[in-house]
Structure formats: structure tokens, C-alpha cells
């Protein structure tokens, strides 16, 4: 059994690509604790199918930039978009050095696939299990580092802070039910999205926006928490639980969407929010619970080599993609909003960083372009680690102890109830933000008239 120390130099909450890449980029002389709610493979990073964007050549910069901005309704933070695109080659090089195996052309160069909203192929991939390939390789390297300790079944329930700064976190060990207050010079929230608060989502059910709720509770700034992406194509099922994604690269390679009469009704390669709206409109018109996706226009060999996971999952659910269409429906997929962070991952609370899907640095604007999120998570997590390194200073011991003593552990003893209240807090905040945006829009329209 792993015994937790009372203090670490850096504590990272989350073992997805953001948490792991942050840990790997903290200098080896610093002790790093990385925790996750259940096992490390229960992160959305493991589920990523389609791939990860890379600027293929300098001449594509303007077009990649424009595709990202257009998908985001031009609400993106230009500084973040530029940093992401400019940093993409370095991210892919790092991954290759960590042993990630991307698909290659016959001449050995990287193979690229295409997804909706992209004006050309620029997505690196590994079959339809890119996320598993990347995350498992990062995990292997992280486990080999002596300064990094990865502990599963540890849930963050709160941060230790005063009005000025963050000194660590309060956690519950799921194995023995014990509560601990852990100090850290720097705390990094890399705790993923919020799909677990919705009934239909492609995300793991454990991802319920705990870090977001904790920030709301402490007055740490959050942004655009109603910017929630719905993926147009998840496999329709009457069963409860996580929805299975049918990657957008399937449409990128030629699959088409069909209505109840098996007729095409939209351009399948428009950005996600537009395709989702078209599908919903069609379902309403047809009075159906789903539309059809036909993968048969894709050459058989391409389906076998590029999408083996999708083929198998569909077979398990009773659909043979080589012989028939599969039923698909939109589901919650990604969170563009989140804990406000700058392009180095810093939040509005000193010593507290947020990276990956849990943060909002504005890179995706109102709607994320396909395959930009693994890239964004990896890049800004590395930048956060570098920023921590450059500005490193230990916490003030007396202040930290005072903040810790002010916390009453009895308030955390019913952790299930607490986490449920966090879920509700997230849902309420989304609802309030929706109302605020609707009112602002109505006022704007009134002013125009």
C-alpha cells in the first residue's frame, strides 16, 4: 500500500494526457504526486479515437488557424490558437520520443487523416485508438521517473487555500476511506471534462467537474461554462451509461449521414455544432430517435486498418458496418469552458494551475475543432510545468498551516454527498450562464431594432 507524504513539491490532479505531460515536464529534482479518481485508464484521454492535429508544413499555418477560428465562431483567444499551432510539431516530436507509434506513409513520413471542419488532412493517428496509444506511452515513461508518484483511487475533495493562494488539496483515499490534507508548493488541476453530469455523454461517468465546482466555491474565475460540445455521431443505444463515439474521421474518410429513407441530408464535414444541428433537425422532421451512418463508401481495407475498434464495437452491438448502416445520435462530448487559465496554465489563484479539458484558455472559442484537444492539453500542460519551474518558490509554511487548520475534515466525511453537491453546482452554474447569455442576446437584439 502506498503511503502518502504530507507534502509534495507539485500535486497534479488527473492522469490524462494533461496531467501526465505536466508531470513529465516538471524538473526531476521536484517531487510530483499525480492522483486519479479510479484507475489511470479511466480518463477521456484513453478514449480519443480520431487523432491529434499537427501543422504539417508552414504553408498550412493560415488555413489551420482559420479552420480553428471558424469552428470556434471566432470567439477563440488568438494568442492561445497561435501558441497551439506553433507548438504542435514539438508536441508530436515529444510523443514520438516517448515511443508513440503514429501511422506512417510508405516513405516513413507521418500519415494524416481529415475530420470535419478541417480544410485538409493534418491529423496524426494510431488506428482508431490514438488516445490509448499516447496515454499509455506517457504513463509508461512517467512510471519510470523516480520523482513521479502516481496513485489511483485518490479523489480530490477540495483545495487548501486562504484568500491569497493555494497550499495543496484535501483528498479521500478510496481504498481505506481515509481523508488527508496534502501540502504542495504548486497544485495543478488536470481533472478533465464534465460529461458525467449529463445523462448522455461519451465521457467517463466519473468526470463530473469536481475541480470546476471547487473553483466556483472559492471564487476562482471560470469562463464560458455553458460552452458544451455535442458530438454529432455516437452509436445509438437504449442502454444506460457512456455513449460510444463514432469518430469524425470516419466521415473524414467518406462515411455519409442518411435520413430514415436512407437519403443524404447534410454536408458531413461541416464543424460539429452545425452537423449536430442538422441531425437534430432531421430527427425531428422524420420523427426518429437517430439517423443512419453509412461507412460502406470507405474502402474496406481502409476501414479494417484505420477503424478496427469501431468495427468491433459495432459488431458487439449487433451491427456489421460492412453490410449495413449504423444508427447514430448526438451526445455531450467536450467542454470548451472551464477554469480560467492563461496560456501558461495559471488560474486567478496564485500557486494553482489548470490544464487540459478542465481549463478554459479560450483556444477553442465556442466550439472545438476536431482533434485539437489532445494537442491543446499536451501543449499547455507542458507550458504550465515550465512556468512552475521558472517561478518556483516554496509555500509559506505558517500560512499553509493556518489554511490547513481552518479546514474541518468532518465536513468531508460524506464524500459521496459532497461530490453529488459539486455535480449540482456545475449544472446550476451552466443553467445560470445559459440564462445570462439568453438575456444578453435578447437585449442586443432589442437594441438593434
Ligand X SMILES: Cc1cc2nc3c(=O)[nH]c(=O)nc-3n(C[C@H](O)[C@H](O)[C@H](O)COP(=O)(O)OP(=O)(O)OC[C@H]3O[C@@H](n4cnc5c(N)ncnc54)[C@H](O)[C@@H]3O)c2cc1C
Q: Quote the least distance from Cβ 359 to ligand X, whole Å.
A: 8
Examine residue 122 and tell whether it contacts ligand X (CB under 6 A).
no
Asked if 91 touches ligand X (CB under 6 A), the answer is no
Residue from 19, 232, 271, 338 touching ligand X (CB under 6 A): that is: 19
**Using the rule CB under 6 A, is 49 a contact of ligand X?**
yes
Instruction: Determine the longest span between alpha carbons in the chain, in angstroms.
Output: 70
Known catalytic membership, residue 296: no
The yes or no reply on residue 298 touching ligand X (CB under 6 A) is no
371 belongs to the binding site for ligand X (CB under 6 A): yes
- For residue 434, the number of C-alpha atoms closer than 13 Å in the C-beta half-sphere is 9
Which CB atom, from 179 or from 401, has the smaller least distance to ligand X? 179
Nearest CB to ligand X, comparing residues 93 and 263 = 93
Examine residue 210 and tell whether it contacts ligand X (CB under 6 A). yes
Could you say which of 47, 188, 225, 326 contacts ligand X (CB under 6 A)? 47
Among 24, 81, 85, 156, binds ligand X (CB under 6 A): 156
- The set of cell numbers assigned to 334 is 467536450
Using the contact rule CB under 6 A, the part of the chain among 60-68, 221-229, 276-284, 373-381 near ligand X is 373-381
Listed residue (78, 91, 118, 22) closest to 362, CA to CA: 78
Between CA 64 and CA 121 the distance in angstroms is 10
45 contacts ligand X (rule: CB under 6 A): yes
34 binds ligand X (CB under 6 A): no
67 binds ligand X (CB under 6 A): no
CA atoms of 357 and 143, how far apart (whole Å): 23
The contact set with ligand X (CB under 6 A) reads: 13-19, 35-38, 42-45, 47-52, 130-131, 155-156, 190-192, 202-203, 206-207, 210, 245, 334, 356-358, 371-374, 377
Active-site positions read: 272
Amino acid at each position: 500500500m502506498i503511503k502518502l507524504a504530507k507534502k509534495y513539491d507539485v500535486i497534479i490532479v488527473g492522469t490524462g494526457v494533461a496531467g501526465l505531460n505536466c508531470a513529465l515536464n516538471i524538473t526531476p529534482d521536484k517531487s510530483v504526486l499525480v492522483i486519479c479518481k479510479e484507475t489511470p485508464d479511466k480518463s477521456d484521454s484513453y478514449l480519443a479515437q480520431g487523432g491529434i492535429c499537427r501543422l504539417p508544413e508552414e504553408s498550412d499555418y493560415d488555413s489551420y488557424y482559420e479552420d480553428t477560428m471558424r469552428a470556434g465562431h471566432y470567439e477563440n483567444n488568438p494568442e492561445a490558437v497561435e501558441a497551439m499551432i506553433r507548438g504542435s510539431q514539438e508536441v508530436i516530436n515529444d510523443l514520438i520520443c516517448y515511443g508513440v507509434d503514429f501511422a506512417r506513409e510508405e516513405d516513413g513520413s507521418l500519415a494524416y487523416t481529415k475530420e470535419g471542419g478541417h480544410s485538409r488532412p493534418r491529423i496524426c493517428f494510431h488506428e482508431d485508438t490514438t488516445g490509448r496509444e499516447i496515454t499509455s506511452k506517457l504513463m509508461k515513461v512517467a512510471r519510470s521517473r523516480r520523482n513521479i508518484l502516481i496513485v489511483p483511487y485518490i479523489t480530490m475533495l477540495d483545495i487548501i487555500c486562504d484568500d491569497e493562494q493555494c497550499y495543496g488539496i484535501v483528498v479521500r483515499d478510496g481504498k481505506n476511506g481515509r481523508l488527508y490534507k496534502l501540502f504542495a508548493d504548486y497544485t495543478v488541476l488536470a481533472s478533465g471534462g464534465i460529461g458525467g453530469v449529463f445523462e448522455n455523454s461519451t465521457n467517463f461517468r466519473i468526470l463530473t467537474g469536481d475541480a470546476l465546482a471547487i473553483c466556483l466555491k472559492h471564487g476562482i474565475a471560470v469562463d464560458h461554462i455553458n460552452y458544451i460540445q455535442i458530438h454529432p455521431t455516437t452509436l445509438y443505444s437504449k442502454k444506460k451509461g457512456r455513449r460510444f463515439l463514432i469518430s469524425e474521421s470516419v466521415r473524414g474518410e467518406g462515411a455519409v449521414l442518411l435520413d430514415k429513407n436512407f437519403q443524404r441530408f447534410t454536408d458531413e464535414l461541416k464543424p460539429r455544432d452545425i452537423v449536430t444541428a442538422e441531425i437534430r433537425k432531421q430527427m425531428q422532421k422524420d420523427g426518429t430517435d437517430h439517423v443512419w451512418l453509412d461507412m460502406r463508401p470507405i474502402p474496406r481495407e481502409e476501414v479494417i486498418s484505420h477503424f478496427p475498434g469501431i468495427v468491433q464495437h459495432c459488431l458487439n452491438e449487433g451491427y456489421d458496418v460492412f453490410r449495413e448502416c449504423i444508427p447514430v445520435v448526438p451526445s455531450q462530448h467536450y467542454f470548451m469552458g472551464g477554469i480560467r487559465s492563461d496560456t501558461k496554465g495559471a488560474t486567478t489563484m496564485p500557486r494553482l494551475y489548470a490544464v487540459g479539458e478542465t481549463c478554459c484558455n479560450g483556444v477553442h472559442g465556442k466550439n472545438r475543432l476536431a482533434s485539437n484537444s489532445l494537442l491543446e492539453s499536451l501543449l499547455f500542460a507542458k507550458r504550465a510545468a515550465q512556468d512552475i519551474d521558472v517561478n518556483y518558490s516554496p509555500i509559506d509554511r505558517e500560512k499553509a498551516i493556518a489554511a490547513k487548520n481552518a479546514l474541518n475534515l468532518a465536513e468531508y466525511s460524506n464524500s459521496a454527498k459532497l461530490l453529488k453537491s459539486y455535480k449540482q453546482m456545475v449544472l446550476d452554474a451552466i443553467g445560470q450562464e445559459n440564462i445570462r447569455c439568453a438575456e444578453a442576446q435578447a437585449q442586443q437584439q432589442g437594441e438593434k431594432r
